Amino acid sequence: MLLDSYPGLLEQLKEGSEEELLHIGELKIGKGAACARREDTKSLKPVIIDWIALAGEAVVPPLPRNSKISRGFNHPLTSHLLCPAELDWDDADTKQRLQSGELVVSGDQWPLFVYANEVYDPEDPWNGLLRSCFLVNVFRHVFTSPSSVDKEPKATRAGNTRLHSMTTVTSASVAYVATQIHFALCPSSVFSCTDMVTDSETFYHSLLDFLEDPDESREVTELLLWWNHQIFPMSSAAKQPLKANSSLSKICQKRATLKDDDGGSA
């Protein structure tokens, strides 16, 4: 896995400077990390098939687990997941233009799979953004362990996150996982920053830049709280803020006021 193969990556994802995050944004394509990133890509290539159909339903037509040539807009399931959220996949003309390549999709046109239940609300684009079970499954596969995907998260489970002292989900880690999914669903066989068909670099940067935008901080805080409930339910990062006007919040407010008064009189 990437965390095992690239010492220091976890710390960069958790505490990295802007320059370090930009380096991660290039998905570690440099010499020292290409092999590490390939491990995540390789491990997702077959198992991603298990998560693209509804529970209990078969993938029709079947998709080879070890070949990507039939993915992308060549298959109805991967096509639906990759369709830009602002487009209507059920529209016959849109579908034909995407499948033929006449309509070229750029990396900053986020696909339906980044939304919960693949539902996009043009009136409220934040609704369900980056909150899909699909993303959570892949996050667990990459950052905890493949065996954790079908299990409820537990504070005592040992995995990559515990071994590396990872206790919170970050914007960078969510963007990285989304980019790995994006590539896994596409037919491209080689991960490259110059691949304008997959356009993974633009995809990653557009997500991370958005999540790091100060104007989106309130929504991002709520998003990461949701993520930490999924991955680290017992951590402090998963704790909900106190309800306004509750007895506990009033006690805490009073205590804070007394501390301020004591500090001012000191």
Over residues 38-70, the pLDDT tens digits come to: 788 889 999 999 999 877 788 999 999 989 999
Residue with tokens 């040539």: 69
> What's the confidence (pLDDT) of residue 96?
94
> What's the confidence (pLDDT) of residue 252?
72
> What does the buried/exposed string (b/e) look like for 46-80 if buried means 16 or more CB atoms within 10 Å of the residue's CB?
eebbebbeeeeeeeeeebeeeebeebbbebebbbb
Which residue stretches of the chain have pLDDT < 50? Answer: 29, 31-32, 154-158, 162-163
Q: Is the pTM of this model over 0.85?
A: no
Judge whether 140 and 231 are in contact, CB under 8 Å: yes
Total Cβ atoms within 10 A of residue 83: 24
> What's the confidence (pLDDT) of residue 155?
42
Residue pLDDT, tens place only, 126-157? 999 999 999 999 999 988 866 656 655 544 34
Judge whether 70 and 64 are in contact, CB under 8 Å: yes
Residue with tokens 């949701």: 226
Compute the CA torsion angle 108, 68, 70, 128 (nearest 10 deg): -40
> What's the confidence (pLDDT) of residue 71?
95
Judge whether 123 and 85 are in contact, CB under 8 Å: no
> What's the confidence (pLDDT) of residue 137?
93
Contacts of residue 69, defined as CB under 8 A and 6 or more positions apart, other chains included, come to: 187, 189
> What's the confidence (pLDDT) of residue 157?
43
Distance separating alpha carbons of residues 128 and 115, to the nearest angstrom:
5
> What's the confidence (pLDDT) of residue 41?
87
> What does the buried/exposed string (b/e) look like for 152-187 if buried means 16 or more CB atoms within 10 Å of the residue's CB?
ebeeeeebbbeebebbbbbbbbbbbbbbbbbbbbbb
Distance separating alpha carbons of residues 116 and 120, to the nearest angstrom:
8
